[in-house]
A and B are shown apart, each in its own frame.
Chain A
Amino acid sequence: GNSVTQMEGPVTLSEEAFLTINCTYTATGYPSLFWYVQYPGEGLQLLLKATKADDKGSNKGFEATYRKETTSFHLEKGSVQVSDSAVYFCALRNTGTASKLTFGTGTRLQVTL
């Protein structure tokens, strides 16, 4: 079956530090990959996505590259801000008639001044 494994948090960084959150997946076929972000007290928001191998998703300074050979989709940002503090979820979706999302356990990011 499908599964997503994320690095455990919390991740604590100083403002302007480089961020990497690791994500690997197991899936049949050719899934689409996603990063969602959940700010305190809010619902999940799509941060970025990639639908095929070697695609790079990017948004708000975050980026992730779909690596089929390593089954990975690591999230990176060159310079984090305090406002990036949130929980980040990696997810996959196989195409098909019931295109449900399979999520990782989430990684909490705390950015301090």
Chain B
Amino acid sequence: EAGVAQSPRYKIIEKRQSVAFWCNPISGHATLYWYQQILGQGPKLLIQFQNNGVVDDSQLPKDRFSAERLKGVDSTLKIQPAKLEDSAVYLCASSQGTGWTSYEQYFGPGTRLTVT
């Protein structure tokens, strides 16, 4: 079974530029998550999709971050314009579902973003 795919693996941009990350979840997984992992910290959830609907985006900085999952499969996370403090690893994860059942989340390798 193929895992969660993410691209690119690394990205270096200057502040105020824009950047986009792509994620393809495990086939059949309805739920997709984007996490931000700043160096020395644990991952923090940015946004959670159930199929193509947003379940939780309470910690997404909506003035500069956006995400979409138009067909309920792959997803794109965008930052525009980037700030220095956005330097982090962006992790995508997927699971079969949510709710009361304890579905395991499977993580991709992440995209390491450096903003200079």
Contacts and interface: CB of A to CB of B under 8 A. Distances in A.
Interface residues of A, number: 25
Contacts of B110: 43
Contacts of B103: 99
Q: Chain B's interface: helix, strand, loop or mixed, by majority?
A: loop
Contacts of A41: 109
B106 to A, nearest CB: 8
Contacts of B4: 43
B99 interface: yes
Contact of A105 (B40, B48, B107): B40
Contacts of B41: 105-106
Interface stretch (A44-52, A61-69, A72-80): A44-52
A43 B107 CA distance: 6
A14 to B, nearest CB: 25
Contacts of A91: 42
A104 B105 CA distance: 16
A104 B48 contact: no
B20 interface: no
A97 B55 contact: yes
B98 A97 contact: yes
B42 A98 contact: no
B44 interface: yes
B32 to A, nearest CB: 12
A27 interface: no
Nearest to A103: B42
Given A91-B42, A100-B48, A43 B33 contact: no
Nearest to B97: A99
Contact of B99 (A89, A99, A100, A101): A99
Contacts of A56: none
Interface in B70-114: 91, 93, 98-100, 102-105, 107-110
Interface of B: 3-4, 33, 40-45, 48, 55-56, 91, 93, 98-100, 102-105, 107-110
